[in-house]
Amino acid sequence: MIIPYKYILKKTAAFVAVLYGAITLNFILPRLIPGDPAETVYSTIIREGGGSVSPRYLHQLAAEYGISNAPMYVQYYNYLVDLAHGNLGISVAFFPEPVSYILYHALPWTLLLVISSIAISFFVGNRMGRYAGIHRNSIKDLSMDMFAMFMASFPAFVLAFIVLDIFALDIKLFPIGGAYSIYVNPGFNIPFIISVIYHAVLPVLTIILTSLGGWELGMRNNIIPNINSDFISYSENLGFKKYQVNQIAYRNAILPNLTGFAMSVGLSVSGVIIEESIFSYPGVGLYMITAIDDLDYPLIQGIFLMVIIAVLVGNFIVDILYGFFDPRIRQESE
């Protein structure tokens, strides 16, 4: 096997550059937002307790939340140093828990949902697109396309509520929320794993239903030009069986969909964040909703950063694998 060194090097450089950009963006964005966490807490105290708060207390609060009036470049330097040490500040909504602690418990659940839903919908969607493309302009094709388009056009969160209502409340086939049953021991044992899968079915199903359409339509439109191309006629004339010919066309057509992965990871994470709050799944999305409601900027910032890093790393891995799959990509970069 040839290892595409140059390609990997190029991708790594791009990865580092984008990561640095995202980290910097994460530094700038909260500073554009008027108000700071100390002010939020302060106004809550005023609202709930009445009276006024002494300036000394306000300063103490500000210090606790790590707000400084230092020049921007000093703040930026401190931010990078803190980040390198894994210090993401202290949450306002879940005071006094550090943001990194919350993320440590929430991120694995989100990753579980994202990875399983992307994998399943990529596989099923491509297969459906292949089927539709091979039988193109037939009633099979039309019904598949219509299904895909309808699923892509229905508001995802309404679909989630309908699914929740039918499967969890009416038929009581699946649990209403949570990531695992309270009767099992978290750890690497079979009842726990079964319980986790059982609780993940509904959220994953909803995300798959809404993201299937893009893959299906993309695959259909990719495979049709391939089926009409000369190398397919050639292999037909060589006497390949129908499914073998289709397999060749499919392999060629799947490449653009693989590059579409970068887009889809971001989209799936968006979907997962919404679904988690609906299915009360203890992932990042559930905390994000709370954080937005309470204007908990350290937590928002931490979630933002962690999700972006996760998405970037995922993309990076796909990119590297892609270099191994497709020789044309390797040649382009050399």
Partner 1 sequence: MKMEEQEVIKDNKSLLGKIINPLKILLSNGKAKAGFIMLVALILFAILGQFFSPYNPTKYEFARGMPPSYAHLLGTTIYGQDVFSQLFYGAAPTLMVGFAVGVLGTLISIAVGISAGFASERVNTVITGIINIFLIIPGVLLIMLFGSFFLGLHQSLGYLPTILILIITGWAFGARTFRSITLSIAKRDFILSSILIGESRLSIIFRQIIRAIFPVIISNFFFTAMYGTMGLTFVEYLGVGNLLQVNWGTMLYWAINNEAYLTGMWWWILPPSFMISILMFSFILLNFGMDEIGNPSLRRFKSKNKNENKKIIGDLDVNIEN
What's the min distance (Å) between Cβ of 35 and partner 1? 9
Report if residue 200 touches partner 1, rule: CB under 8 A: no
| Residue 292: other Cβ atoms inside 10 A | 14
Give, in order, the Cα–Cα distances in Å from 174 to each of 116, 201, 272, 276: 18, 8, 18, 15
| CB closer to partner 1 out of 93 and 195 | 93
154 binds partner 1 (CB under 8 A): yes
- How far apart are the C-alpha atoms of 68 and 36, rounded to whole Å? 11
Site for partner 1 in 157-196 (CB under 8 A): 157-158, 161-162, 164-165, 169
Binding of partner 1 by 317 (CB under 8 A): no
Q: Which of 83, 111, 312, 320 binds partner 1 (CB under 8 A)?
A: 312
Query: What burial letters (b/e) apply to 276-286, b meaning 16+ CB within 10 Å?
Result: bbbbebbbbbb
C-alpha radius of gyration, the chain, whole number: 25
Q: Kindly determine how many residues on this chain lie close enough to bind partner 1 according to the rule CB under 8 A.
A: 51
Token digits for 271? 């979907």
CA distance 300 to 289: 9
Does 217 bind partner 1 (CB under 8 A)? Our answer is yes
Task: Examine residue 22 and tell whether it contacts partner 1 (CB under 8 A).
Answer: yes
Backbone phi, psi, residue 103, to 5°: -65, -40
Whichever of 195 and 272 has its CB closer to partner 1, that residue is: 272
Nearer Cβ to partner 1 (25/194): 25
Residue 292 identity (one-letter amino acid): I
- CB of residue 204 to partner 1, shortest distance in Å: 17
Helix intervals (H) in 228-260: 230-238, 242-259
> Which residues, listed in sequence order, are joined to residue 90 by a DSSP beta bridge?
98
Binding site for partner 1 (CB under 8 A): 14, 17-18, 21-22, 25, 29, 32-34, 137, 149-150, 152-155, 157-158, 161-162, 164-165, 169, 217, 221, 224-225, 228, 262-263, 265-267, 269-270, 273-274, 288-289, 292-293, 295, 300, 303-304, 307-308, 311-312, 315
